[in-house]
């Protein structure tokens, strides 16, 4: 029985290793349609430098790097998971209005340079390095460490 379990575990791991493949391309058509639409809508004037497609047995992620250094991570369906604009501001249309309003009121002069979309919340990074957490409706929760 032990040998059978070990053989099964080895088989699962080897299938996972074969199925887990990363690929790099510059072809935007390799992205899901929703990701293509998001790039065209939110970053229309910036060219794609490269796209890293992370495939594993259970999931696929798309890591897009634009010519200006902006990094955007998409899930398998093309939904934005994370945006890192370096020192540039994340496009306003990507950030919920209550979050933009909170930052404008409480962190005058700061730009939102990073955005992470999670199941339960949003995390943003300001140009001064402060990380803030908001719920899915845009209500401020806390400053993250």
Encoding tokens for residue 38? 């998001």
Q: What is the pLDDT of residue 56?
A: 82
Listed in sequence order, the residues at least 6 apart from 33 whose beta carbon sits closer than 8 Å to its beta carbon are 78
The pLDDT tens digits of the residues spanning 84-143 come to: 999 999 999 999 999 999 999 999 999 999 999 999 999 999 999 999 999 999 999 999
Residue 21, pLDDT score: 67
For residues 132 and 124, the answer to whether their CB atoms sit within 8 Å is yes
Residue 5 has pLDDT above 70, yes or no: no
- In the chain, the domains with their CATH numbers are 20-82 (3.40.1420.30), 85-145 (3.40.1420.30)
CA atoms of 53 and 21, how far apart (whole Å): 8
């Amino acid at each position: 029985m032990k040998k059978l379990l070990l053989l099964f575990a080895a088989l699962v791991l080897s299938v996972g290793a074969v199925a887990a493949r990363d690929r790099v391309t510059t072809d935007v058509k390799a992205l899901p349609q929703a990701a293509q639409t998001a790039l065209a809508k939110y970053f229309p004037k910036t060219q794609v430098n490269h796209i890293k497609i992370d495939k594993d047995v259970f999931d696929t992620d798309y890591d897009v790097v634009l010519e200006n250094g902006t990094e955007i991570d998409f899930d398998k369906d093309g939904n934005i998971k994370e945006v890192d604009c370096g020192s540039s501001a994340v496009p306003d249309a990507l950030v919920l209005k209550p979050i933009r309003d909170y930052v404008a009121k409480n962190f005058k002069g700061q730009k939102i340079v990073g955005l992470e979309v999670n199941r339960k919340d949003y995390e943003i990074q300001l140009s001064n390095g402060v990380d803030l957490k908001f719920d899915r409706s845009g209500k401020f929760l806390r400053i993250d460490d």
